[in-house]
DNA sequence: TTCACTGCAAATAGTTTGCACATAG
DNA sequence: CTATGTGCAAACTATTTGCAGTGAA
């Protein structure tokens, strides 16, 4: 996908613009996150993909790189149900709901939380970071079980 | 507190009513959860309190007991920010917001999510389990930092 | 008396860290 | 050249499990 290559190039440009170094690890990790798209990959899953592309990149480097990219504001992590956190580009703005029984994840429009975010800000002086946690509950199929 | 003793007695009665055994571990774990009230104790924190009251109760038993009590419907766990899950009585119905910077937890009324829960059920066939995750964001003091 | 519950030790999953070496700029 | 990033091994935190023995009903 040319689209993905362009996206990667843009992200690397952001790093360069901030005066950060571009290393093999950062390039490959970012690339895998771009390629993963709407998949929700955990750190271990990303590490595995990264490692299969470049076996010299150590798992601990992937952990450090993800921290770094998040600090730089390029990516975010999100908690889906009871598995380790997953990572995605920060500009992917949508919400998630996970069925606590079948573990199926569904994507939801980000504006569902707009009103609640407003209420929290107005009445409780709390600025919500939308989307950091998934909603937990039951999908239709699992409701009666 | 007589109130807390009564609450404990009621919970034990529920177990007995279901035909479950009442053991020392179950008694002490439930008692500590009742006494903890609005504190949000992790499994390890509970295990420590339980152990200091009865050193013969092993940490792994506390894990198993918490699972058991949740399966029975007496307690729930909730994810507050980036620490291990915390436990509370199921009939404690309120929401939480955690500041991602100072880690302070604030309690919020449960009805804040009523409308969203309705929308999810109506438009997305998803029945939300309210309160399983805390909101993440920034409290007023940390907003500008 | 019987079977569910528990203690213990060991295994597992996920993540972090110290340090010496490698490398981007 | 030099500070920053990385590999590696080891530590650490949270949790689970197999098994043999204990105790609630």
Q: Three-state DSSP class for A127? A: strand
Alpha helices in A20-145 (DSSP H): 24-36, 43-53, 59-71, 114-124
User: Mutating which of B70, B103, B133 best tests the A interface, going by the most A Cβ atoms within 10 A?
Assistant: B133
User: Of all residues in chain A, what percent carry a pLDDT higher than 90?
Assistant: 82
Residue of A nearest to B116 (CA): A112
Q: For residue range A37-53, what is the model confidence (pLDDT) as tens digits? A: 889 999 999 999 999 99
CA→C1' distance for B23 and D23 (Å)? 9
Judge whether A107 is closer than 8 Å to chain B, CB to CB. Answer: no
Please say if the pLDDT value at position A76 is more than 80. yes
The C-alpha of A3 sits at a distance from chain B's nearest C-alpha, in angstroms, of 30
Interface touch B133/A135, C-beta < 8 Å:
yes
Cα separation, A133 vs A59, in Å, equals 25
Judge whether B66 is closer than 8 Å to chain A, CB to CB. Answer: no
CB B86 within 8 A of CB B99: no
CB B128 within 8 A of CB A141: no
Please say if the pLDDT value at position A28 is more than 90. yes
Q: Which residue ranges of chain B lie beneath pLDDT 50?
A: none
Cα separation, B85 vs B66, in Å, equals 11
Judge whether A134 is closer than 8 Å to chain B, CB to CB. Answer: yes
Quote the pLDDT of residue A102: 87
CB B128 within 8 A of CB A97: yes
Judge whether B112 is closer than 8 Å to chain A, CB to CB. Answer: yes
Mean pLDDT of chain B: 94
Cα separation, B96 vs B51, in Å, equals 28
């Amino acid at each position: 996908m040319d689209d993905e290559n362009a996206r990667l190039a843009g992200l690397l440009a952001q790093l360069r613009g901030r005066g950060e170094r571009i290393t093999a690890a950062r390039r490959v990790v970012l690339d895998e996150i771009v390629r993963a798209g709407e998949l929700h990959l955990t750190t271990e899953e990303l590490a595995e993909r990264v490692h299969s592309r470049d076996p010299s990149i150590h798992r601990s480097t992937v952990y450090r790189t993800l921290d770094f990219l998040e600090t730089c504001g390029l990516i975010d992590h999100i908690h889906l149900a009871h598995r380790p956190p997953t990572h995605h580009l920060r500009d992917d703005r949508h919400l998630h709901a996970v069925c606590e029984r079948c573990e199926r994840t569904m994507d939801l429009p980000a504006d569902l939380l707009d009103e609640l975010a407003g209420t929290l800000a107005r009445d409780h002086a709390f600025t919500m970071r939308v989307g950091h946690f998934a909603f937990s509950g039951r999908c239709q199929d699992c409701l009666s079980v």
